[in-house]
Chain A
Amino acid sequence: MIAGRDTLPGDNVLATVHRVWPRRTAIGGLVASAGGLLLFGPRPSDDVPAGRVILDYWEKWTGAEGEAMRLLVDEFNRTQDTIYVRYLAINSIDQKAMIAIAGGSPPDVIGLWNFNVPSYAEAGALLPLDDLAASAGLSRERYADAVWPLLTHEGRQWSMISTCGSLALYLNLDVLESAGIDPASTPRTLDDLDEMNERIIERSSDGKLERMGFLHTEPGWWSWIWGYHFGGSLLDSTGAPTADAPKNVAAYEWVRSYPERFGSRELLAFQSGLGFYGTAQYPFLTGKVASVVQGPWMANLINAFAPSLRYRAVPIPVDVGELDAAAPVGLIDGDVLVIPKGAKHPEASFEFITWLQERARLERLAAAHGKNTPLRETSTGFVENHSNGSIAVHNALASSPRAFVFPRTSVWPRYVSEFDAAFQGLWLGEQTPRAMLSGIQQTMVREIAKERGGRRRREQSAS
């Protein structure tokens, strides 16, 4: 009762020829090519010049964005001879950085998400940059008003900026025109937006939605911003959550009006037919959704796939009671550079970061990413040569007194996670805005209390 084999006496010779030799040649070929690759294949380039301080810079960008930074890093390495920056760019860099910090061998510079700063700072994992920044002349006045809060937490500065982007409403002017709307008009209030939507909506002969003017879930990357456009906020000045404040409830009542009016099922069906971001089928490009909430990088997509599209970016509309044309409301998102505590050459790290903070270089990076400038002042030509025709709008948003950033609490990732999940429930018609927001509020009150309790416990045990 062993490995079975069905054979005919005498079938072995032929079988050997037919079975064994092709297999042997295949194995031989495989071994040969593997050997060839191992022996003669490409080697890692060992071009780290001797005698320099070596810095490890980990960044989260891949693709074209990662490349833009790599060019700058290469230039830095070329144009001076005391420091060499080793650039490592991969997704999930925050995960990797956390493990490296925990393991006691952090890199020298990390490109973090802006929402990482509070938790990293509170944990004491970052080097405070106040003194270094002051002596390098990188003061608050250099930066756009809305950018500065991204760099600081609880009164100290923990990071410098690499890129930032403000959110605006992109309008597909071709679609607007075809619906009889003056392409020069600007929806300023959410009522304007609703009205624009009504005029643009098209349905197929069997009642299915074919085209919409606006849809919260397209792209739906920022489910939590709507309260701000009603004058509300998610965190008060003491750091306590305010998710269920009346203005937020009003905001999500407005959000819910869409699935209520058009039907959750119908909207889901419409959504599932829409293409992905980063492709030519993105609904804004194909005209299926006439306006989207996006950052300035949107222009890169338009230029790549629909260069003849006429578009314009305007500040995202606000509730009618909040209208103030001089102070548009918009989220400022940003990527920051930090020096982890335990970095071996903090001065060299900061020298590299300072080099990047040069206006020309930040603008070059911003232009390559398709983003607006994080600085207060703009060089001549930045706006004119920018790939985004509406970049001036994005720049203005970054300087607006009502620009806002993510709620600066170390439990922000949890807050977003709760919001995203609850928003889906709201969109499916499964809960009311009030219930959704008070659910989030309860969870976040608990989480923030836990966080604070933990921090207190640490301070006590340290003393």
Chain B
Amino acid sequence: MSRRSRVPRWTSLARVSVLIAIAVTFAMPLVWMLATSAQTEDLAMSPGLALLPDPPTSLPGQAHDNYKSVLTDETVNFPLFFRNTLIVVLLGVSGAMISSTIAAYGLARVRIPGRRLILLLTIATMLIPFPVLMAPLFMLYAKIDWIGTFLPLYAQFWFGNAFSIFLMHQFFRALPPELEEAARLDGCSTWRTFTHIALPLSKTALAVVGLLHFTYMWNDFLAPLVFIVDRDMFTVALGLQLYQSRAGQTPWTLLMAASVLTILPVFLVFVLANQLFTRGSISGGVKG
């Protein structure tokens, strides 16, 4: 087997400059967040972009102050919010991945009556604006006494998640059918085919679904706002709200420090998942 030399044409000037432009454009919110989180309020709010404080050596010190302030704030208990969000998101993502993958495989590969209709219905649920669903959902949860727990935030995902089902469905459809057919011919049940053939081939897809759902749940602010009634059960998304005052002063540097802490886990998950959708890296796959 000859190795195809995949020399990415990095020497191509156009490609490099486009990538630099992309990198700079997309990095801007991030860089500004990081910079502001390590500044004093004065510097942060001065017009124009000041990335480094006046004696640049004061940066680590100020950063330490800001982050410490956020983490030890008596009234805004960020570590607690972190823990709450972790619980909710882990429960939600695991539920979503399990239930959605199964349902998606069923819709993609199993002869279920009305599966086209079910898929369309699934997509249709994403068309309903959440404000319209909020009130009826709240009433439902109130009736079964779930308000005051974390259940409204993650329980529904154990039944399935439309976005994830649709995404996994598309990935399953893209799998070449030969392997699964071979397995069926060998006498495997549909379930075994699913677990032993389809799933191992779908590591990438699973990583994407997991990552995207994790991101969505971690930053979701509307659902916790409606369903959580106890400050001790706030998620980080709600916690960020606490820094913003309407007619008062928003401590922007602290808000940015809190924001950086908030997105850190998502970044870590992304970096890990990224390995799985990289051409040339070791991922689930069999050369057929």
Instruction: Find out whether A and B make contact in their complex, taking CB atoms under 8 A apart as touching.
Output: yes
Give residues in A with beta carbon < 8 Å to B. Answer: 1-9, 15-16, 19-20, 23, 26-27, 30, 34, 37-38, 41-45, 56, 61-67, 70, 86-92, 95-96, 98-100, 102-105, 107, 273, 275-281, 295, 297, 300-301, 304
Chain B: minimal CB distance from A31 (Å)? 11
Chain B: minimal CB distance from A400 (Å)? 22
Report which of A19, A45, A63, A89 forms a contact with B248, defined as CB distance below 8 A. A63
A56:B250 contact, CB within 8 angstroms = no
- Known A37-B86, A38-B87, A41-B79; contact A5-B280, beta-carbon cutoff 8 A: yes
Chain A: minimal CB distance from B275 (Å)? 6
* Chain A binder among B19-27, B38-46, B153-161: B38-46
A254 to B247 Cα, complex, angstroms: 28
Report which of A6, A30, A275 forms a contact with B280, defined as CB distance below 8 A. A6
Choose among B75, B90, B204, B233 the residue with the greatest number of A CB atoms under 10 Å from its CB. Answer: B75
B245:A26 contact, CB within 8 angstroms = no
B246:A279 contact, CB within 8 angstroms = no
B242:A90 contact, CB within 8 angstroms = yes
A30:B87 contact, CB within 8 angstroms = no
The B225-248 residues at the A interface (CB cut-off 8 A) are 225-226, 229-233, 238, 241-248
A-B contact pairs, 14 of them (CB 8 A): A9-B1, A26-B272, A30-B272, A37-B86, A41-B79, A41-B83, A44-B233, A62-B246, A65-B245, A88-B229, A89-B231, A96-B226, A99-B135, A297-B248
Chain B: minimal CB distance from A275 (Å)? 7
List the A side residues contacting B257 at CB < 8 Å: none
B249:A300 contact, CB within 8 angstroms = yes
Given A61-B246, A62-B244, A100-B138, output 19 extra A-B contacts at Cβ < 8 Å.
A1-B288, A2-B287, A3-B285, A8-B3, A23-B272, A23-B275, A34-B90, A37-B79, A42-B80, A44-B233, A65-B247, A89-B242, A90-B225, A99-B138, A105-B142, A107-B229, A275-B45, A279-B41, A297-B247
B6 adjacent to chain A (CB < 8 Å): yes
A147 to B251 Cα, complex, angstroms: 31
Chain A: minimal CB distance from B153 (Å)? 15
A19:B139 contact, CB within 8 angstroms = no
Give residues in B with beta carbon < 8 Å to A. Answer: 1, 3-4, 6, 41-42, 45-47, 75, 77, 79-80, 82-83, 86-87, 90, 134-135, 138-139, 141-142, 147, 176, 179, 201, 204, 225-226, 229-233, 238, 241-252, 268-269, 271-272, 275, 279-288
List the A side residues contacting B288 at CB < 8 Å: 1-2
Chain A: minimal CB distance from B69 (Å)? 14
A23 to B269 Cα, complex, angstroms: 11
List the A side residues contacting B250 at CB < 8 Å: 63, 278
List the B side residues contacting A38 at CB < 8 Å: 83, 86-87
A5 to B176 Cα, complex, angstroms: 16
A135 to B243 Cα, complex, angstroms: 39
Chain A: minimal CB distance from B262 (Å)? 14
Q: Which residue of chain A has its CB nearest to the CB of B282?
A: A19
- Known A27-B272, A91-B241; contact A5-B87, beta-carbon cutoff 8 A: no
List the A side residues contacting B226 at CB < 8 Å: 95-96, 99
Q: Which residue of chain A has its CB nearest to the CB of B78?
A: A42
A95 to B227 Cα, complex, angstroms: 12
A67:B80 contact, CB within 8 angstroms = no
A41 to B82 Cα, complex, angstroms: 9
B282:A15 contact, CB within 8 angstroms = yes
A279 to B43 Cα, complex, angstroms: 10
Report which of B248, B275, B285 forms a contact with A64, defined as CB distance below 8 A. B248
A6 to B284 Cα, complex, angstroms: 13
A65 to B135 Cα, complex, angstroms: 29
Q: Which residue of chain B has its CB nearest to the CB of A46?
A: B232
List the A side residues contacting B246 at CB < 8 Å: 61-62, 91
Q: Which residue of chain B has its CB nearest to the CB of A63?
A: B245
Chain B: minimal CB distance from A24 (Å)? 10
B242:A5 contact, CB within 8 angstroms = no
A86 to B148 Cα, complex, angstroms: 13
Report which of A5, A20, A45, A67 forms a contact with B285, defined as CB distance below 8 A. A5
Chain B: minimal CB distance from A235 (Å)? 25
B79:A42 contact, CB within 8 angstroms = yes
List the A side residues contacting B87 at CB < 8 Å: 38
Q: 3 shortest A-B CB distances, which residue pairs?
A: A3-B285, A63-B245, A44-B232
- Known A19-B275, A38-B87; contact A2-B45, beta-carbon cutoff 8 A: no
A64 to B245 Cα, complex, angstroms: 8
A62:B238 contact, CB within 8 angstroms = no
- Known A2-B286, A2-B287, A37-B86; contact A103-B135, beta-carbon cutoff 8 A: yes
- Known A5-B280, A63-B244; contact A304-B86, beta-carbon cutoff 8 A: no
A20:B248 contact, CB within 8 angstroms = no
Chain B: minimal CB distance from A229 (Å)? 22
List the B side residues contacting A87 at CB < 8 Å: 231
List the B side residues contacting A2 at CB < 8 Å: 176, 179, 201, 285-288
List the B side residues contacting A70 at CB < 8 Å: 75
A3:B283 contact, CB within 8 angstroms = yes
List the A side residues contacting B285 at CB < 8 Å: 2-5
Report which of B79, B179, B238 forms a contact with A90, defined as CB distance below 8 A. B238
Chain A: minimal CB distance from B277 (Å)? 10
B248:A280 contact, CB within 8 angstroms = no
B247:A41 contact, CB within 8 angstroms = no
A228 to B211 Cα, complex, angstroms: 55
- Known A1-B288, A6-B4, A96-B226; contact A90-B241, beta-carbon cutoff 8 A: yes
